[in-house]
């Protein structure tokens, strides 16, 4: 397990970051702190992104300068886009930053920092163990996600009502904050003709009853992570579908020497055949190459973009593309470029809620367990394959 420690370089942030790193080391957890572990003397988005990608979770330290620290907020945004859990602590007297609201952020003082830090680390470790993905691609008849959810919802007696409410809300918010599907492809509702080709992305697991009902136990971060895990499954399905149905071009881009002329040439080619792309999918390790290549006469990268993408690329004389960095081994060997209209993402909504996500929670057949199920049923269709390019990466 490895933690990325996010802090503000305001004079005190680094002090607490080093203490947090020491606490992690005492628990045999690797921790990355920019001041100690970066390869460069200057804060670089690309250096940070590589470390966040390789980390299990983020531990954020909120100090006085955090509210005005764009680099630190950029770290949070990137962690969210990569589906990383971000748990935080804040110095006593400070308010929770807007970007971190809706998740635990306990206060600490100089005297109890290690104690509070250990509590948050426990939360992260427990959250990582609290779910497992059990099935993908099962038929509707076999899995029956909605039926399982309905049965669980009928077995909620003896469960903390506040935690039940937190479960649904946090899962949904975690999912919405991490899914890129709604931003980059055309959405339509699946019908009867689609059912044989539908694919399920599902998490089905359990929680200890005592922990679930404990008033002071922090489940919200774990529940958000469950929603993010479903979104990660969607991202993986999209990439797998493209890579299986679209043949990569003969040329490759080189990650090591920042040579992305092939990428630029493909953007221009797609534009020339009437499929001007507006989305780029790339591994986080490629961000440094994009930053170096697209500057001045070729274009520019903007890190203050919206929609949860890692960056916005403005190609000079052409158009604006959203760059999504897909970690967690979703995308390693290719850069994928396409126009949103080239792909249709069909969703089979939950008939009870109309949402793309089905959730259910309730008592297990075992008296000391609470069971939950989270799932989405989808189908990815490449509508215009000639509008999609897959560029191999040469390492």
Helix (H, G, I), strand (E, B) or coil at 130: coil
CA distance 391 to 270: 13
Element (H, E) at 282: strand 279-282
pLDDT of 46: 61
Most distant CA pair in the chain: distance in Å?
66
CA distance 255 to 264: 14
Write out pLDDT tens, residues 318-358.
788 889 888 878 888 899 999 999 999 999 888 888 888 99
Instruction: Please say whether the beta carbons of 361 and 371 come within 8 A.
Output: yes
Local confidence band at 314 (pLDDT 50, 70, 90 cut-offs): confident
Across the range 57-74, mean pLDDT stands at 90
Residues, the chain, total? 395
Per-residue pLDDT at 217 exceeds 50: yes
Helix (H, G, I), strand (E, B) or coil at 321: strand
Write out pLDDT tens, residues 375-391.
998 999 999 999 999 99
Per-residue pLDDT at 49 exceeds 80: no
Across the range 231-236, mean pLDDT stands at 91
Write out pLDDT tens, residues 114-157.
999 998 888 888 766 654 444 444 444 445 788 889 888 999 99
pLDDT of 191: 79
pLDDT of 39: 56
As beta bridge partners, residue 334 has 392
Write out pLDDT tens, residues 259-302.
888 999 999 999 999 999 999 999 888 888 888 888 777 888 88
As beta bridge partners, residue 345 has 187, 380
Domain covering 2-128 assigned CATH 3.40.50.10140 in the classification: yes
Instruction: Please say whether the beta carbons of 127 and 228 come within 8 A.
Output: no
CA distance 299 to 264: 10
Q: What are the b/e assignments for 219-258, b being 16+ CB within 10 Å?
A: bbbbbbbbbbbbbbbbbbbbbebbeeebebbeebbebeee
Element (H, E) at 239: helix 220-245
CATH topology for the 134-395 domain: phage-related protein like fold (3.90.1690)
Mean pLDDT over the full length of the chain: 84
| The two three-digit tokens of residue 4, written as one number | 């990325």
Highest mean pLDDT among 49-53, 123-127, 198-202, 216-220: 198-202
Helix (H, G, I), strand (E, B) or coil at 353: coil
pLDDT of 172: 92
Per-residue pLDDT at 55 exceeds 70: yes
Q: Give the range among 81-90, 127-136, 241-250, 269-278 with minimum mean pLDDT.
A: 127-136
Across the range 63-87, mean pLDDT stands at 83
Write out pLDDT tens, residues 155-206.
999 999 999 999 999 999 989 888 888 888 888 888 777 777 788 888 888 8
Write out pLDDT tens, residues 123-133.
888 766 654 44
Per-residue pLDDT at 41 exceeds 50: no
Write out pLDDT tens, residues 360-378.
999 987 788 898 999 998 9
Cα-to-chain-centroid distance, residue 350: 23
Q: Long-range contact list for 212-220, CB < 8 A, 24+ apart?
A: 212/159, 212/160, 212/163, 212/370, 213/158, 213/159, 213/160, 213/163, 215/160, 218/104, 218/123, 219/163, 219/166, 219/167, 219/170, 220/102, 220/103, 220/104, 220/166, 220/170
Q: Give the range among 37-51, 92-106, 169-183, 280-294 with minimum mean pLDDT.
A: 37-51
Please report, for residues 78, 283, 311, the alpha-carbon distance to residue 304 in angstroms, rounded to integers and kept in the order given: 11, 19, 7
Local confidence band at 73 (pLDDT 50, 70, 90 cut-offs): confident
CA distance 186 to 163: 34
Instruction: CATH 3.40.50.10140 in the chain: give the residue spans.
Output: 2-128
Instruction: CATH 3.90.1690 in the chain: give the residue spans.
Output: 134-395
């Amino acid at each position: 397990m490895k933690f990325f420690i996010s802090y503000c370089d305001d004079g005190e942030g680094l002090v607490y970051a080093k203490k947090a790193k020491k606490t992690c080391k005492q628990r045999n957890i690797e921790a990355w702190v920019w001041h100690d572990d970066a390869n460069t003397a200057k804060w670089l988005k690309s250096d940070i992104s590589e470390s966040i990608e390789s980390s299990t979770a983020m531990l954020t330290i909120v100090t006085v300068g955090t509210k005005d620290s764009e680099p630190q907020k950029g770290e949070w945004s990137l962690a969210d886009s990569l589906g990383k859990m971000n748990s935080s602590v804040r110095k006593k007297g400070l308010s929770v930053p807007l970007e971190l609201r809706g998740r635990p952020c306990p206060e600490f003082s100089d005297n109890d920092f290690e104690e509070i830090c250990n509590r948050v680390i426990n939360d992260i470790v427990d959250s990582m163990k609290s779910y497992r993905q059990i099935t993908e691609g099962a038929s509707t008849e076999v899995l029956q996600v909605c039926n399982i959810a309905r049965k669980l919802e009928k077995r909620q007696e003896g469960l903390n009502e506040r935690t039940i409410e937190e479960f649904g809300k946090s899962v949904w918010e975690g999912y919405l904050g991490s899914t890129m599907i709604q931003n980059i492809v055309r959405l339509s509702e699946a019908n009867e003709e689609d059912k044989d080709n539908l694919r399920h992305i599902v998490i089905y697991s359990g929680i200890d009853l005592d922990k679930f009902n404990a008033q002071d136990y922090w489940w919200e971060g774990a529940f958000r992570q469950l929603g993010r895990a479903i979104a990660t499954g969607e991202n993986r399905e999209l990439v797998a579908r493209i890579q299986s149905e679209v043949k990569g071009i003969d040329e490759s881009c080189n990650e090591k020497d920042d040579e992305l002329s092939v990428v630029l040439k493909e953007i221009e080619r797609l534009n020339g055949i009437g499929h001007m792309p507006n989305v780029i999918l790339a591994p986080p390790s490629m961000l440094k190459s994009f930053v170096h290549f697209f500057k001045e006469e070729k274009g520019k990268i903007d890190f203050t973009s919206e929609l949860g993408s890692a960056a916005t690329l403005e190609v000079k004389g052409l158009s604006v593309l959203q760059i999504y960095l897909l970690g967690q081994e979703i995308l390693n060997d290719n850069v994928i470029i396409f126009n949103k209209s080239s792909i249709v993402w069909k969703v089979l909504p939950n008939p009870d809620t109309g949402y793309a996500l089905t959730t259910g929670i309730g008592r297990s057949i075992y008296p000391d367990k609470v069971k939950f199920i989270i799932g989405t049923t989808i189908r990815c269709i490449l509508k215009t394959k000639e509008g999609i390019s897959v560029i191999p990466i040469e390492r």
